[in-house]
Structure 1
Amino acid sequence: MDKELIVYHSGKPERILIRNYTGDDLQGMIAIQQQSFPPPFPSELWWNEDQLKEHVSRFPDGALCAEAGGQLIGSMTSLLVDGSTIGGDHSWEEVTDGGYIRNHNPKGDTLYVVDLCVIPSYRKAGIGKWLMQSMYEVVVHLGLARLVGGGRMPGYHRHEHEATAAQYLERVVAGDWQDPVITFLLRCGRMPVGVAKQYLADEESRHYAAIMEWRNPFTTTRRQ
Structure 2
Amino acid sequence: MYPPYDTADAGRPVTLDRREGPYGEVVLRRRGGGGTGPAGGPAAPAPVFEIIANGCFLMDTSDGRSERLLIRAALDALPAGRSAPALLIGGLGVGFSLAEAAAEPRWGRIAVVEREEAVVDWHRTGPLGRISAAALADPRTEVIRADLVACLRAGEGAAPYDALCLDIDNGPDWTVTEDNGGLYSPAGLAACRARLTPGGVLAVWSAQPSSAFEEALRNAGFVGVRTEEISVARGVPDVVHLAVRGA
Higher helix share: 1
TM, length-normalised to structure 2:
0.33
TM, length-normalised to structure 1:
0.35
Which of the pair has more CA radius of gyration? Answer: 2
The structure, 1 or 2, with the larger RCO (C-alpha pairs under 8 Å, 6+ apart) is 1
